[in-house]
């Protein structure tokens, strides 16, 4: 069987934080939310140098919903933790890369007040492929502990197979069809970068969704623990909902179907990760490098610059102008950020 994997990676990531929001920020957001309700459209607001829209309604249990092209923030000044939820979107993940976009998101989170991370609350991994079109008969060969196994819209013309509905969910669905219905046509541009992409053939997706409980069991609540284990997490998903070739009555003796083996090879899916509890972690400067590198590459690409030194000089000039226009004192900002980081570290260590 010849399967072509066109893309694989993180499709969605959500992280949660315990925070004390800046009172001035809460006042501003309340006013913008009221204006959004009156004008029936989101109101523009810049936070941490990133442009977002404040919506007329929050998203329970959060009072405020702020959305950008690459990520969303959900904020609540009171109530039990988490007070902040950060959601990274597929378009931003494609543009920045997951580590760079996560660092940008954390920058925005810390711009809202004093915050400490509670960990990843949702992680969606996916791989898009052509060359294998799953059927209803194939779905009956998937060995999975989940009893919840709906097929949409029906068994005669299946477009989505789902396995599970709790902390671990696997979906195998027609991504091309979903794009026709819901949009996100930029995925076609992503697939087109693969030399073997066939624009006349539907693309199917294997998607693994892990929630808080499963991530804790896998030892991947801490974001960077998840990042270094993406291949093993995907391998766990392919094991959890495993397509096999029937041979005898015992499914334990069924061999894995070549389709799944090909997915493993093409995505470098590693051995299933053991389930252990994650420890809290506050990283050092090393984890900031991917963010800085991703932003520099994005600036260079937009300006058509191929020289890294020149791109760095241009970016530095733009940053200096940004500071001057807004009256930002660099030394004061660094000192304030150090206080927040030290506070987050102490809170995590004491917790």
Six token digits for residue 31:
């006013």
One domain for residues 47 and 165: no
Domain boundary among 267, 297, 317: 267
In-domain check, residue 351:
yes
Is residue 294 assigned to a domain?
yes
Q: Tell me: do 128 and 236 sit in the same domain.
A: yes
> Which pLDDT value is given to residue 278?
31
* Residues with Cβ within 8 Å of residue 233, at least 6 apart in sequence: 123, 125, 208, 210, 218, 220, 226, 273
The answer to whether the CB of 208 falls within 8 A of the CB of 237 is yes
Mean pLDDT by 10 residues, the chain (351 residues): 90 96 96 98 95 95 96 91 94 94 95 94 97 96 95 95 96 97 92 95 98 95 94 95 93 93 88 48 52 76 84 85 81 73 47 39
Burial class (CB within 10 angstroms; exposed 0-12, middle 13-18, buried 19+) of 77: buried
φ, ψ of residue 177 to 5 degrees: the values are -65, -40
Q: Domain ends where: 232, 267, 302?
A: 267
- 99 in the same domain as 141: no
Residues 144 and 218 in one domain: yes
295 within domain boundaries: yes
Whether 277 is covered by a domain: the verdict is: no
pLDDT in tens, 247-260: 988 898 899 999 99
**Is the residue at 117 inside a domain?**
no
What pLDDT does 340 receive? 56
In a domain, 235, yes or no: yes
The pLDDT of residue 350 is 43
Select from 137, 148, 73, 138 the least CA-distant residue to 110: 73
Are 222 and 320 found together in one domain? no
**Among the three residues 57, 88, 111, which one is the final residue of a domain in this structure?**
111
Check residue 99 and give left, alpha or beta (phi > 0: left; psi -120 to 50: alpha). alpha
pLDDT tens per residue, range 259-274: 999 999 998 886 676 5
pLDDT value for 35 = 98
The count of domains in the chain is 3
- Whether 60 is in a domain gets the answer yes
Q: Domain span at residue 34?
A: 23-111
Q: How many residues does the chain have?
A: 351
Domain-located, residue 282: no
């Amino acid at each position: 069987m010849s399967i072509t994997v066109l893309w694989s990676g993180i499709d969605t990531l959500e992280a949660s934080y315990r925070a004390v929001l800046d009172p001035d920020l809460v006042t501003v957001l309340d006013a913008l939310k009221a204006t959004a309700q009156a004008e029936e459209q989101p109101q523009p607001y810049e936070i941490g140098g990133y442009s977002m829209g404040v919506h007329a309604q929050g998203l329970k249990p959060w009072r405020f919903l702020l959305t950008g092209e690459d990520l969303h923030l959900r904020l609540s000044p009171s109530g039990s933790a988490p007070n902040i939820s950060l959601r990274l979107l597929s378009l931003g993940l494609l543009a920045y890369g997951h580590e760079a976009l996560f660092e940008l998101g954390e920058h925005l989170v810390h711009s809202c007040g004093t915050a400490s991370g509670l960990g990843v609350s949702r992680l969606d991994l996916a791989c898009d492929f052509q060359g294998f079109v799953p059927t209803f008969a194939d779905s009956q060969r998937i060995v999975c502990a989940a009893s919840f196994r709906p097929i949409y819209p029906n068994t005669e013309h299946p477009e989505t197979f789902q396995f599970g509905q709790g902390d671990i969910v696997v979906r195998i669905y027609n991504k091309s069809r979903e794009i026709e219905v819901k949009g996100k046509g930029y995925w076609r541009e992503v697939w087109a970068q693969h030399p073997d992409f066939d624009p006349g053939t539907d693309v199917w997706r294997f998607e693994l969704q892990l929630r808080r409980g499963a991530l804790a069991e896998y030892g991947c609540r801490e974001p960077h623990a998840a990042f270094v284990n993406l291949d093993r997490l995907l391998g766990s998903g392919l094991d959890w909902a495993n397509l096999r070739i029937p041979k005898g009555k015992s499914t334990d003796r069924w061999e894995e179907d070549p389709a799944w083996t090909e997915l493993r090879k093409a995505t470098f899916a590693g051995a299933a990760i053991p389930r252990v509890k994650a420890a809290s972690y506050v990283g050092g400067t090393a984890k900031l490098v991917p963010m800085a590198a991703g932003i520099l590459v994005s600036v260079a690409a937009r300006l058509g610059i191929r020289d890294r030194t020149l791109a760095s000089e241009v970016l530095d000039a733009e940053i200096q102008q940004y500071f001057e226009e807004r009256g930002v004192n660099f030394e004061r900002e660094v000192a304030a950020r150090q206080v927040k980081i030290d506070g987050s570290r102490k809170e995590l260590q004491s917790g």
